[in-house]
Structure 1
């Protein structure tokens, strides 16, 4: 059975898919009322499932007329997408963010399922022989950026 976060995420993605401009504006309190949950649940879904790594920009305005705007970001071409991902990674990247980046590459058709699976396999934390999570983040970033550079210039 799916949990409420999954249901809210799917609902918002379906609205985005059906919107012409790849942009939606929602009121957090109205959405919370619709799903019979607390507004912080809406915040949780938006902050964890609609991140830049997953291809979304979120803007919000607090107050009585406040809103949350979710924008689906599309790259002009694969090379731009790879470059954008390299910039997002920076010097270090967490396991979760790395997985989100790879999923986005696959969802946008920049990598095949096989390439995505290979990328997932080489960022597996059990491969890094260290107990230092920060060092793993640096190694993961370097490996991921190297793969993206290769993909970017072989297209």
Structure 2
């Protein structure tokens, strides 16, 4: 059974897909009422599952009539994707950013779910058991090499 965060995430992604411009505006309190949860649960979902690393821009306006706007940032075609990888994965990359990039590529259909799982396993801090900053440097080399091999034609 899925937890509340997963259900809220899927709901937001579903309404985003139905949006003609890939942008949704939600009211935190209304969404919390819909899912019978506290508003901080909505904040948690948005702050952890709709990050820039995962390909989303989140803006909020506080006060009466305030809203949270979530926009999916498309990666585009393969050329820009390779450019994005080359800009993102330079000399060093932390686990959160690297997993966000892999997530973005999987969501965009550039890599399969299986490939994403293999990459995440290879770049995990549990596998790369060396001290920082060397761990982030090794992770960057592995990630860059794997993604370029998968995406280059």
TM-score, normalised to structure 2's length? Answer: 0.84
Query: Residue in 1 aligned with 2:30?
Result: 30
Which stretch shifts more, 23-32 or 115-124?
A: 115-124
| Between structures 1 and 2, the one with greater helix share | 1
Q: How many residues align?
A: 153
Shift of 1:37: 1.6
User: Over aligned residues, Cα RMSD in angstroms?
Assistant: 2.2
TM-score, normalised to structure 1's length? Answer: 0.83
Structure 1 unmatched ranges of 5 or more: none
When residues 59 and 89 of structure 1 are mapped into structure 2, their CA distance, relative to the original with a 3 A threshold, is farther
Distance 1:128 1:136 in 2: 6
Is structure 2 residue 140 aligned with structure 1 residue 141?
yes
Distance 1:147 1:79 in 2: 16
Distance 2:34 2:51 in 1: 23
Structure 2 unmatched ranges of 5 or more: none
Kept in 2: contact 1:50–1:57 (CA 8 A): yes
4+ aligned runs moved over 6 Å, structure 1? none
